[in-house]
């Protein structure tokens, strides 16, 4: 369960974010990855490196305001930081010893979703997100429809 729950949390995150329409979804995710960059600041145990990482992720998040790729890279960077904390630093949740490991499992799930452009999973489930041929499905404009 320790390894499965973080994957479910990552999928749940993507599902909940799917309720937010673009371009707000991308911008909100940039803010989220910036916040993740500061998650270890108050006690991660790696000294000045905590500030350097926070600054790096702040830059990546700023670039993510206009790019899903940067947001995905930010989550992958945070994954690496989680692994470092699991092995050498303090956990992200002080009373949960393996919380950084869980975060390191969850973050790549979110990163993959972001690297795919942060699509609405709800629309994909409903079938609107599938690729359709020209002139088929709800993507057709009203001008090309015949009565």
Domain of 11 in residue numbering reads as 4-123
Per-residue pLDDT, 128: 64
Q: Please report the DSSP string for the chain in residue order.
A: -TTHHHHHHHHHHHHHHTTSPTTHHHHHHHHHHHHHHTTTTTT-S-THHHHHHHHHHHHHHHHHTS-HHHHHHHHHHHHHHHHHHHHTS--SSTT-TTHHHHHHHHHHHHHHHHHTT---HHHHHHTTTS---TT-GGGS-GGG---
Residue 53: inside a domain: yes
Residue 130: inside a domain: no
Give how many domains the chain has, as a whole number: 1
Range of weakest confidence among 12-21, 72-81, 134-143: 134-143
CA distance 20 to 92: 27
Residue 132: inside a domain: no
- pLDDT per position as a tens digit, 84-142: 999 999 998 989 999 999 999 999 999 999 999 999 999 888 886 555 444 444 444 44
Residue 131: inside a domain: no
* Over residues 10-27, mean pLDDT: 96
| pLDDT greater at residue 106 or residue 48 | 106
Residue 61: inside a domain: yes
pTM: 0.82
Per-residue pLDDT, 123: 87
Per-residue pLDDT, 45: 86
**Residue 115 near residue 79 (C-beta atoms within 8 A):** no
Residue 118: inside a domain: yes
Per-residue pLDDT, 2: 84
């Amino acid at each position: 369960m320790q390894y499965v729950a973080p994957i479910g949390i990552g999928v749940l995150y993507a599902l909940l974010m799917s309720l937010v329409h673009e371009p707000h979804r991308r911008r909100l995710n940039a803010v989220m990855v910036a916040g993740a960059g500061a998650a270890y600041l108050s006690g991660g145990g790696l000294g000045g490196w905590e500030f350097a990482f926070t600054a790096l992720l702040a830059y990546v998040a700023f670039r993510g305001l206009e790019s899903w790729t940067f947001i995905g890279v930010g989550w992958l960077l945070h994954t690496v930081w989680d692994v470092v904390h699991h092995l050498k630093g303090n956990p992200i949740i002080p009373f949960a010893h393996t919380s950084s490991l869980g975060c390191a499992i969850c973050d790549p799930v979110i990163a993959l979703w972001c690297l795919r452009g942060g699509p609405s999973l709800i629309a994909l489930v409903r079938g609107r997100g599938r690729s359709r041929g020209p002139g088929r499905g709800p993507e057709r404009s009203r001008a090309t429809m015949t009565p």
